[in-house]
Amino acid sequence: MAAGTDGASLALTNHMPTRVRDLMTTKLVTLFAEQAMPLAEEIMRFRHIRHLPVVEPSGKLVGLVSHRDILAANTSSLVGLSDEQRRARQGSVLVKDIMTKDMWTVTPQTYAEVAAQTLLDHAYGCLPVVEDGKLVGILTERDFLKVAILHLRANNA
């Protein structure tokens, strides 16, 4: 999910229908279901991302962890535990315990307009991109913001 392909500029210049493949991020950071939740939290903080796909070793998508999932799973400081007790409790939570398993996906061939409407209609922050049963990318709100910025710049030039 790190900075990936920058298809946004291509999407505005080729006069062909824009597809998900033109916008998606392909340099992905992923997790395995058996990894600990604090690792997911640290990756999100370090990489400045809000979504982590969860895959099997084969690359098959099995879930998605969002920043909201992390927040919901974190033990509140109001519970009365010490920082050490809270960290120990959170360390025992696995990614598989908090991930969303039933998620919408798109393919690289999906029209970007359809993907954007799906994000908007369902208030999703991202859509994993799957091809032949394997995760190949992720499409986020940020990817569409890049296109919007390029479009606005082109109109203002």
The answer on pLDDT for 86 being more than 80 is no
Domain ranges of the chain: 8-156
At residue 94, what is the residue type?
L
Q: Which tens digits make up the pLDDT trace of 26-49? A: 999 999 999 999 999 999 999 999
| Nearest 10 degrees: Cα torsion 85, 90, 92, 95 | 180
> Under CATH, which number does the domain 8-156 receive?
3.10.580.10
| pTM of the model as a whole | 0.83
* SS3 track for 47-77: HCCCEEEEECCCCCEEEEEEHHHHHHHCCCH
| Mean pLDDT, residues 62-71 taken together | 94
Q: What pLDDT was estimated at residue 16?
A: 80
Euclidean distance between CA atoms 72 and 68, whole angstroms? 6
Q: Which residue pairs, CB below 8 angstroms and at least 24 apart, start in 14-17?
A: 17/111, 17/112, 17/113
